[in-house]
Structure 1
């Protein structure tokens, strides 16, 4: 009986570990850190992009985030899905317009319906402006494209 429980436990840990690894492979990570080290909670509480610190790090299902304060880290740990960026931290416009993973500028963002969306903004191309012109349609397409890409 104990041997069966041990085998089930090992199988569960293996599957859980694989799920975390595969989830992280779809996220926009730089040196294994999401949002280029910016604090995901600050977008909601301070309404601006704030650089996090490695001393306030937390990992959720294989994805590591940095926070600007212990309070922000604790808020995230209590409810990570409330703060994680949509589409694995890739550009929301690109995900909606052509279903591709495109880098972002962490300082170009939008909080919509309690969710964080990040955008590419470089070389005179601020994709947040394009997103705002057709947000409803692009969001539907981005949601569908992300499901295909991530399996989530």
Structure 2
């Protein structure tokens, strides 16, 4: 599997603080599911495309295969993925409680789009729009470092109540 490695020396320290990224409210769209009902474990099995190109489509979860974490319901496409999540939810849950990574780098909470994703150093990051992905990918490690610093001050704020632009949230399948 292709993973985008971070090259900046100080970023490892910032990423060790990632466990604090789960104390706030998880972003939920009208489906009531985290990550719009898509299987967060499945992202880690998808072949990641190079920076500057679109990622593969997210895998829909099944409404009958769920777990609760960080006050939110997560759906999974298989029982095996649910078991992986249950064993280590911090590994699979999106960073910044499912909010846009670039938005957090800029100091705010806006929704994360489950189709605009990237895994960096075994962490799942979401962004809000294709244009934002372009800005975020200009300096992924720098933006993660900024987001980690900003997150400390905004994680306790309420989750975004905005809708994901140009995105219709499907309910989990089945």
Deviations 1:102-147 (A, max 9, x none): 12221110000000000112xxx43121111122221111011112
Deviations 1:75-115 (A, max 9, x none): 1001111101001101101110x211112221110000000
Matched, 1:29 2:23: no
Structure with the higher fraction of residues in helix conformation: 1
Within the candidate set 144, 151, 160, 1:146 is matched to 151
Q: Which runs of 4+ in 1 moved over 6 A?
A: none
Matched, 1:75 2:74: no
RMSD over aligned Cα atoms: 1.8
Structure 2 unaligned segments of length 5 or more: list them: 1-21, 48-55, 157-174
TM-score, structure 1 length as denominator?
0.75
Within the candidate set 87, 98, 110, 2:118 is matched to 110
TM-score, structure 2 length as denominator?
0.66
Matched, 1:93 2:92: no
Matched, 1:120 2:163: no
Q: Which residue of 2 aligns with 1:53?
A: 62
Q: How many residues are aligned here?
A: 125
Structure with the higher fraction of residues in strand conformation: 1
Distance 1:83 1:40 in 2: 6
Structure 1 unaligned segments of length 5 or more: list them: 1-21
